[in-house]
């Protein structure tokens, strides 16, 4: 008599306590290595673990593969204002206000912009107080002012105004702000961070955290990909501060996953479609973007007339509503491309809130290149979804063999344990 397979647990029912490990403070990298590609690389494939350095990563990726990178650029999102009394108030710009359709539009605003922010020293910011900062540049002085427009459950809505008004908000941040290092780097920003906390291919401003898996890559590595017939392509996901948000709820159903903007052009989607089954994502953000593209196609199949503003991915629908209508990966991407042709659009710009956790089976990707993540984080859940319980063996190995952890640390190449993808 045939046995029925045990039902898969819904990620809502996962206990975050099952995804922890001991991470000593001295294993968290506070600085990058002098050479990006000298970082250690753990390779996991078919249950086996080996190690090397990033400089040799092309030796472990099959020829004819496609690597997808996230080319977002970190913005100088941390602004410090000094009050007349001498006290300092720090504003951390998280994301643009909902009045703007996307991050690019908000970053290009001139003279005034509204932004969702965290405030350090908020109790010192009295109602009605306008903060002012004078910025000296080689082109002259800029005066920027900040006012609280609204307080929400999670953050503040801040109105920034500045003169001269011919500067964009992106330019203003460049002159006035600081690169926002993660909270577990318990030090001040230094000059070298301006370069090293960006990937060498960073292009589109909008992230408040780096897609750190890409920090290890150099021009020499990209050259080795060409020599070994390994293709590369780029998507954009603007990383929000939610990537550092700890899961405080006992069970995942009580945790709200952060939404992030993605931006992918038609040519890249076609390239991804042609490489299903041999596609590697560099970073969890690239993986979330690529897998979201699949579900956008599924959503369009169910709602052919869906408008661009409704074409988003929420936290649980890939396990519930959309899961009931799953398609072969190639069909899903064909559906997405057809929708783009019908709507005369060259790129998909939308938000994804997808939470990839055990119970999720990747639809498109073959493997993941990523750093080592914090205990009890959504990033660790994503790794566990990709390779199952072996994540524990990998992290134990890394701890026992002097790997460096988190943003400026070492990384790993993980081959998915469910790589047979239906085209």
Mean pLDDT of 79-95: 87
pLDDT at 262: 95
Mean predicted confidence (pLDDT) in 241-248: 72
Q: What is the mean pLDDT of residues 113-123?
A: 90
How many Å separate Cα 359 from the centre of its chain? Answer: 21
Q: Whole-prediction pTM value?
A: 0.92
Q: Specify which residues 422 forms β-bridges with.
A: none
Range(s) of the chain covered by CATH 3.40.1780.10: 11-73+198-415
CA angle 330, 334, 336 (to 5 degrees): 120
Q: Which of 138-147, 324-333, 378-387 has the lowest mean pLDDT?
A: 138-147
For residue 303, is pLDDT > 60? yes
CA pair distance 412, 87, nearest whole angstrom: 43
Q: Regarding beta strands 88-96 and 78-82, do their DSSP bridges make them parallel or antiparallel, or are they unpaired?
A: antiparallel
How far is CA 260 from each of CA 4, 70, 268, rounded to the nearest angstrom? 38, 13, 19
Percent of the chain exceeding pLDDT 90 equals 79
C-alpha distances in Å from residue 19, one per residue of 50, 356, 369 = 23, 14, 20
DSSP string, 182-233: -TTS-S---TTHHHHTS-TT--EEEESS--GGGGG--HHHHHHHHHTT-EEE
H helices within 205-322, ranges in order?
A: 219-227, 266-274, 284-302
- pLDDT, residue 2, reads 41
Q: What pLDDT does 4 receive?
A: 40
Q: Is the pLDDT of residue 392 over 90?
A: yes
Average pLDDT over residues 303-332: 94
CATH number for 11-73+198-415 (one of 3.40.50.300, 3.30.360.10, 3.40.1780.10, 3.30.830.10): it is: 3.40.1780.10
* 15 within 8 A of 251, measured Cβ to Cβ: yes
pLDDT per position as a tens digit, 337-356 = 999 999 999 999 999 999 99
Confidence of residue 1 (pLDDT cuts 50, 70, 90): very low
pLDDT in tens, 180-232: 999 899 899 999 999 999 999 999 999 999 999 999 999 999 999 999 999 99
Are residues 374 and 380 in contact, defined by beta-carbon separation less than 8 angstroms?
A: yes
- Residue 405: pLDDT band (50, 70, 90) is very high
CB atoms within 10 A of CB 372: 26
Per-residue pLDDT, 83: 80
Q: Above 70 in pLDDT, residue 243?
A: no
Beta strand 48-53 pairing with 131-137? unpaired
In eight-state DSSP terms, residue 259 is P
In this predicted structure, the answer to whether residue 244 has a pLDDT above a threshold of 70 is no
Rounded distance between C-alpha atoms, residue 405 and residue 411, angstroms: 8
Nearest Cα residue to 211 out of 264, 280, 282, 261: 282
User: What pLDDT shows up at residue 397?
Assistant: 98
pLDDT, mean of residues 108-119: 94
The closest of 361, 336, 340 to 419, measured between CA atoms, is: 361
Mean per-residue pLDDT for 95-124?
A: 91
- Return the pLDDT at 8: 66
- Residue 3 binned pLDDT confidence (cut-offs 50, 70, 90): very low
Residues 258-275: what's their mean pLDDT? 95
With a pLDDT cut of 70, the percent of the chain lying above it is 96
Distance in angstroms (rounded) separating the CA atoms of residues 291 and 287: 6
Q: What is the mean pLDDT of residues 251-265?
A: 90
């Amino acid at each position: 008599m045939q046995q029925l397979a045990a039902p898969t647990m819904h990620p809502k029912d996962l206990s975050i306590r099952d995804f922890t490990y001991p991470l000593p403070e001295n294993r968290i990298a506070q600085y990058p290595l002098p050479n990006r590609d000298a970082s250690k690389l753990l390779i996991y494939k078919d249950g086996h673990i080996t190690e090397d350095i990033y400089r040799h990563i092309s030796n472990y990726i099959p020829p004819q593969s496609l690597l997808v990178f996230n080319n977002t650029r970190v913005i100088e999102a941390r602004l410090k204002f000094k009050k007349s009394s001498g006290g300092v108030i720090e504003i951390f710009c998280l994301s643009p206000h909902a009045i703007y359709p996307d991050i690019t539009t908000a970053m290009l605003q001139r003279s005034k912009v509204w932004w969702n922010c965290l405030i350090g020293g908020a109790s010192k910011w009295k109602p009605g107080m306008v903060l002012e900062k004078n910025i000296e540049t080689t082109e002259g002085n800029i005066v920027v002012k900040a006012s609280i427009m609204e307080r929400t459950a999670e953050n503040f809505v801040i109105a920034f105004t500045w003169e001269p008004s011919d500067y964009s908000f992106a330019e203003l941040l460049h002159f006035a702000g600081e690169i926002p290092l993660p909270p577990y780097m318990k030090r001040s920003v230094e000059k070298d961070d301006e370069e090293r906390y960006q990937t060498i291919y960073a292009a589109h401003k909008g992230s408040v955290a780096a897609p750190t898996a890409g920090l290890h890559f150099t021009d020499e590595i990209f050259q080795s990909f060409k020599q070994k017939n390994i293709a590369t392509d780029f998507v954009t996901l603007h990383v929000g501060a939610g990537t550092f948000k700890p899961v405080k709820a006992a069970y995942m159903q009580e945790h709200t996953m952060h939404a992030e903007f993605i931006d992918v052009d038609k040519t890249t989607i076609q390239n991804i479609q042609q490489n299903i089954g041999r596609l590697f994502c560099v970073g969890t953000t690239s993986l979330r973007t690529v897998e979201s593209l699949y579900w956008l196609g599924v959503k369009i199949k169910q709602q052919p007339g869906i408008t661009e503003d409704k074409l988003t991915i929420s936290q649980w629908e890939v396990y519930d509503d959309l899961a009931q209508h799953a398609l072969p990966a190639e069909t899903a991407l064909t559906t997405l491309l057809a929708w783009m042709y019908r709507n005369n659009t060259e790129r998909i710009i939308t938000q994804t809130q997808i939470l990839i956790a055990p119970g999720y089976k990747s639809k498109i990707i073959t493997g993941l290149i990523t750093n080592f993540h914090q205990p009890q984080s959504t990033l660790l859940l994503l790794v566990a979804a990709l390779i199952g319980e072996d994540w524990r063996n990998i992290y134990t190995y890394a701890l026992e063999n002097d790997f460096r952890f988190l943003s400026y640390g070492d990384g790993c190449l993980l081959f998915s344990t469910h790589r047979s993808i239906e085209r």
